[in-house]
Amino acid sequence: MSLFENAKKQFYKSLKYLNFSEDSKKILSQPKEILEVSIPVRMDDGSLEVFTGYRVHYNNILGPTKGGIRYHPDVTLDEVKSLAFWMTFKCAIAGLPFGGGKGGIIVDPKKLSKKELERLSRGFIQSIYDFIGPDIDVPAPDVYTNEMIMGWMADEYSKIARKLTPEVITGKPVSLGGSLGRDDATARGAYYVIKEHVKKLKLNEKDLKVAIQGFGNAGFYIAKLLNDDGFQIVALSDSKGGIYTKNGKLDPESIMKVKEQKGKMEGVYCKGTVCDMIEHEKITNEELLELDVDILIPSAIENQITKKNADKIKAKIVLEIANGPTTPEADEILNKKNITVIPDILANSGGVTVSYFEWVQNKAGYYWTREEVSEKLKPIMVKGYNDMMEAAENNKIDLRTAAYVVGSRRIIEAIEAKGTTAYFREQSK
Ligand code: GLU
């Protein structure tokens, strides 16, 4: 089954607990608009390559569509549609005035030079210019795109528009109108959520062992934030593999330093750094998921916990920082095993929430401090968590379904405020 059909199952499940008109279900069952573009790029050796890119507007009833742009060799339209679908519910749970969108280019950015990457990024904006805009659709970073790429994109848009338009893209460098605190926002949002959950369960943070899959922006910052609070980070991995320490804890910052120097963490951890003393073993990404830990944090890409390995998951809590890391079949297995899954659409919504703050600051031309950003982010994450918990407790359902109940309710209310089949039939009598 396609990723998109699977993603929709999560939403359909939540409808059982809501009053809704079939009209809403019809509207929310497919994207509003899809754009596919071919981007010609002059390569450094003089040859021409044509890359395929997508931008999807899933639904915009709550506001302009919002969501990142992914650069990855495995990008497909099915994936971009799913990611845009998740963004729709993510923005609704966080209570943001945004709908859901997403973009992607089929490319392995690691194989491009910096100049080629810049030409591709500017070329993409030239291709999708009419499809985006501060009050239409606002892109941001996602897997393998970063703030410099967002800076190029905002600059290209502004050049075509012949006016400075920083509010068209979020996740820009701070010097180009980015928000302070956007760098660690996804992780910080997840951190506030897991802190609430640990508090609710009355657990002692220092006793909790954590394994994190993915050491990109979100993976690194969640490791750092939790490590600073005393949680035991025992395993980390990136696309090339991972490391695990049975008796001790890993230091995310020194690992990041090694990764930056050597390009990978596997096998090079701690050489000549402070953690030489810590024994560790090399593990694969698959092995990391099955470790005997308290909290497992998938922080890379989708479809990592599937019916093949769900039965082997030993963590008690799964905190989904990646989008879509757990398949619906795996969800059922984890539920039966009483493993709590804190779903992506809540857990990783800190990123888009600070993107919203960036958009607001750009529109107002008035900028906040890092502390102000954190102070505004925390209550939004805590409210999202409490709303989800309340829906879960009232309906006796798992947290993912509960999160969809909260998000769906807000979107459906807006759709139905314009009238439903029942309303119009009544009037025509
Ligand atoms: N790509 C991020 C996500 O999946 C951020 C989106 C945004 O900031 O608009 O939530």
Q: What is the CATH number of the domain that holds 104?
A: 3.40.50.10860
Residue of 85, 87, 91, 361 to mutate, ligand 1, most atoms within 8 A of C-beta: 87
- Ligand 1 geometric centre to CA of 141 (Å): 6
- Ligand 1 geometric centre to CA of 85 (Å): 12
Query: Is 189 in the same domain as 88?
Result: no
Whether 266 is covered by a domain: the verdict is yes
Of 8, 13, 102, 224, the catalytic one is 102
Query: Is 168 in the same domain as 197?
Result: no
Kindly report the CATH number assigned to the domain that includes residue 199.
3.40.50.720
**Burial letters 227-249, b for 16+ CB under 10 A, else e:** beeebbbbbbbbeebbbbbeeeb
The confidence score (pLDDT) of residue 261 equals: 77
Query: Is 221 in the same domain as 169?
Result: no
**Residue 102 a catalytic site member:** yes
Q: pTM (2 decimals)?
A: 0.94
Query: Is 126 in the same domain as 261?
Result: no
Task: Point out the ligand 1 atom lying closest to the alpha carbon of residue 139.
Answer: 9
The confidence score (pLDDT) of residue 427 equals: 61
Task: Point out the ligand 1 atom lying closest to the alpha carbon of residue 349.
Answer: 10
Quick one: tokens of 347? 């857990």
Residue of 55, 142, 146, 184 to mutate, ligand 1, most atoms within 8 A of C-beta: 142
Residues with CB under 6 Å of ligand 1 are 66-68, 140, 142, 170-171, 323, 348, 351-352, 355
The confidence score (pLDDT) of residue 265 equals: 57
- Ligand 1 geometric centre to CA of 3 (Å): 18
Sheet strand arrangement including 99-106: 33-42, 48-59, 99-106, 65-72, 137-141
Query: Is 191 in the same domain as 340?
Result: yes
How many domains is the chain built from? 2
The strand pair at 137-141 and 65-72 is best described as parallel
Chain centre to alpha carbon of residue 429 = 47
Of the residues 149, 176, 203, the one at which a domain ends: 176
**Burial letters 122-144, b for 16+ CB under 10 A, else e:** bbbbebbeebbebeebbbbbbbb
Q: Which domain holds residue 313?
A: 185-347
**Per-residue model confidence as pLDDT tens for the chain (429 residues):** 899 999 999 999 999 999 999 999 999 999 999 999 999 999 999 999 999 999 999 999 999 999 999 999 999 999 999 999 999 999 999 999 999 999 999 999 999 999 999 999 999 999 999 999 999 999 999 999 999 999 999 999 999 999 999 999 999 999 999 999 999 999 999 999 999 999 999 999 999 999 999 998 899 999 999 999 999 999 999 888 889 998 889 999 988 887 787 765 554 444 444 344 467 888 999 999 999 999 999 999 989 999 999 999 999 999 999 999 999 999 999 999 999 999 999 999 999 999 999 999 999 999 999 999 999 999 999 999 999 999 999 999 999 999 999 999 999 999 999 999 999 998 665
Whether 126 is covered by a domain: the verdict is yes
Query: Is 162 in the same domain as 287?
Result: no
Whether 232 is covered by a domain: the verdict is yes
Query: Is 170 in the same domain as 222?
Result: no
Query: Is 159 in the same domain as 214?
Result: no
- Ligand 1 geometric centre to CA of 333 (Å): 28
Whether 355 is covered by a domain: the verdict is no
DSSP character at residue 321: -
Query: Is 165 in the same domain as 34?
Result: yes
Quick one: tokens of 319? 């905190």
Whether 393 is covered by a domain: the verdict is no
* Helix residue ranges, H only, 180-323: 185-200, 217-228, 252-262, 285-289
- Ligand 1 geometric centre to CA of 250 (Å): 28
DSSP character at residue 259: H
Of the residues 314, 330, 347, the one at which a domain ends: 347
Query: Is 89 in the same domain as 144?
Result: yes
Whether 276 is covered by a domain: the verdict is yes
Task: Point out the ligand 1 atom lying closest to the alpha carbon of residue 323.
Answer: 4
Of the residues 141, 176, 211, the one at which a domain ends: 176
Query: Is 331 in the same domain as 281?
Result: yes
Query: Is 224 in the same domain as 161?
Result: no
Whether 387 is covered by a domain: the verdict is no
Whether 237 is covered by a domain: the verdict is yes
